[in-house]
Structure 1
């Protein structure tokens, strides 16, 4: 359930506080060599978003753009007004969720969902750059042992074991079209039972690892997938709507910096995969590695700095 929309005034206060906090940890490298407005990179209030914000911020800094940070702002109800008002200039968004926020209907078609989302935000003075291969959405996961024993790599492979497997996930899964009903209708799956657990959290992870369930509902970029060596099954019949990572910026920033900025950000985005995002989330949330360290290493590994 989405939180009630907060006022723009509240959003402005949170952005200002975030800028103060970010400045305290800034090493000064955001002064830049390019002439133009400072690009304020924002993030939502969860680790993956902070990591992505650091990746974009450091890539821009390395190319000489003046950058400031406004991380951990809150939900989309705060971040979207901040983008529209120019308090934040760039944030890593999710195509399907942003389209839904704008009262659109995302589909499993990545390109169509992106196009509809880009059109929906255009009147707000916002610009969607190219989207990443990486997605953060509901996924269906098994242990490596189960994948090897059953020979499964795709969700459709589970149909060969109808009536024998236990699905575990959030309590609302039996009532959600994208969860159990969708698995039944789109994939023809028939589970031996469903076990209500938490929403892609530690209880679900423990149940899967301990053999209490055979298939778990987790987020596709969850760090636990990498940490535990779980296997994310391919959604080969496209049950889940598209949720590609996509940087959103403003008309003003595009006008100020033009094609060079767009090319840089698009190149960075094109290199972000779901598997790598899972590894980054693992390092951040489980290994307690700072987001700035993770971002710097990722950018070095991909030749951006």
Structure 2
């Protein structure tokens, strides 16, 4: 290891993010609207305009940016936050909210103004649909139209990146089990459940676009599976070490390549498309129309390859999400420092 000094600021920033997320969760629990509290802090880094310039409707206005609590979401939250800051907004940082439903509730409660959300999550989790739409563009359009009509939530600027769920296995266990598709995984569960130990995180275990829905699609009883519940970040190493034969992964996670894991083919195309898109309440969109304008070119640059590399820099190299996000925006000319 090359010195421990640089780790201090990284730990401090992560502690701050955790405290902010905890404050948000507490405030939502006790009733934010009733007490009028606001959560969130300043962005950890400063940026200046680049190709994103100061916008009259955003200049000096406070906008709260939220995200969920896993690496990619925090990176996307900072990409969004720095973009708005370059446009002149006073950005409040509420990244790192625990869980999809909590992040959505924070927006509904007015704690969060804008996030980057996934189309599959919107369609299945928030809108309650059971069948995904195979075409990514039509999936986005369906989420956009239904969420606006039912909930007053605006979706704009879908990115090319598609971070869907998958199961993965290490090379040794792939050879040992002969499993390369989810159909073969289902057959193994039925034949020899002990050979198909599977690690998942809590949310995937209960989501209809997660393990229960996958089991129904592929025709096996999820209760047969010998399952371990782990934190998302631990699962990848547990798969690599063989502590779990199979495990839940996100397809844009940089650790898949770094740990040489095999992703099982979703041969029945169960998992929805999870294209990232900017999501905000209708009142926020109407007050700040420039949010859609300035984020359009940023989102267009976010391919699966690009976000996988950014995730890798955090999860493999140990860099801070805010540093990674800002560097990417600078490299692409969106902001300056």
Same fold at TM > 0.5:
yes
Instruction: Report deviation, 1:159.
Output: 8.2
Q: 1:169 — aligned with what?
A: 199
Q: 1:287 — aligned with what?
A: 317
Instruction: Report deviation, 1:61.
Output: 4.0
Q: How does 1:104-119 map to 2 (within 5 A)?
A: 104-109=128-133, 110-119=136-145
Give 3-state SS (helix, strand or coil) of 1:69's partner.
strand
Contact 2:188 2:196 in 1 (8 A): no
Give 3-state SS (helix, strand or coil) of 1:235's partner.
coil
Contact 2:169 2:247 in 1 (8 A): yes
Q: 1:221 to 1:28 in 2, by over 3 A?
A: closer
Q: 2:116 — aligned with what?
A: 92
- Pair 1:133-2:157 in alignment: no
> 1:224-276: CA deviations, max 9, x gaps?
32441323334242212333322113445544564x65354233223324454
Instruction: Report deviation, 1:301.
Output: 4.4
Q: 1:57 — aligned with what?
A: 81
d(CA) in 2 for partners of 1:174, 1:87: 27
d(CA) in 1 for partners of 2:296, 2:53: 20
Instruction: Report deviation, 1:295.
Output: 0.8
Say how many residue pairs are matched. 294
Instruction: Report deviation, 1:71.
Output: 1.9
- Pair 1:121-2:121 in alignment: no
Give 3-state SS (helix, strand or coil) of 1:71's partner.
strand
Q: TM-score, normalised by structure 2?
A: 0.66
> 1:191-245: CA deviations, max 9, x gaps?
xx94422246466434422345543222334453244132333424221233332
Contact 1:197 1:203 in 2 (8 A): no
Q: 1:205 — aligned with what?
A: 236
Q: 1:245 to 1:144 in 2, by over 3 A?
A: farther
Q: 1:175 to 1:120 in 2, by over 3 A?
A: closer
d(CA) in 1 for partners of 2:96, 2:326: 22
Unaligned runs of 5+ in 2: 1-24
Q: How does 1:150-299 map to 2 (within 5 A)?
A: 155=182, 166-170=196-200, 178-179=210-211, 182=214, 186-187=217-218, 194-199=225-230, 201=232, 204-211=235-242, 213-255=244-286, 258=289, 261-299=291-329
Instruction: Report deviation, 1:72.
Output: 3.1
Contact 2:77 2:95 in 1 (8 A): no
d(CA) in 2 for partners of 1:40, 1:171: 31
Contact 1:125 1:250 in 2 (8 A): yes
Q: TM-score, normalised by structure 1?
A: 0.71
d(CA) in 1 for partners of 2:260, 2:90: 36
Q: 2:39 — aligned with what?
A: 17
Instruction: Report deviation, 1:296.
Output: 2.1
Unaligned runs of 5+ in 1: none
> 1:76-121: CA deviations, max 9, x gaps?
5554455456654321112233344544215332445433432343
Give 3-state SS (helix, strand or coil) of 2:319's partner.
coil
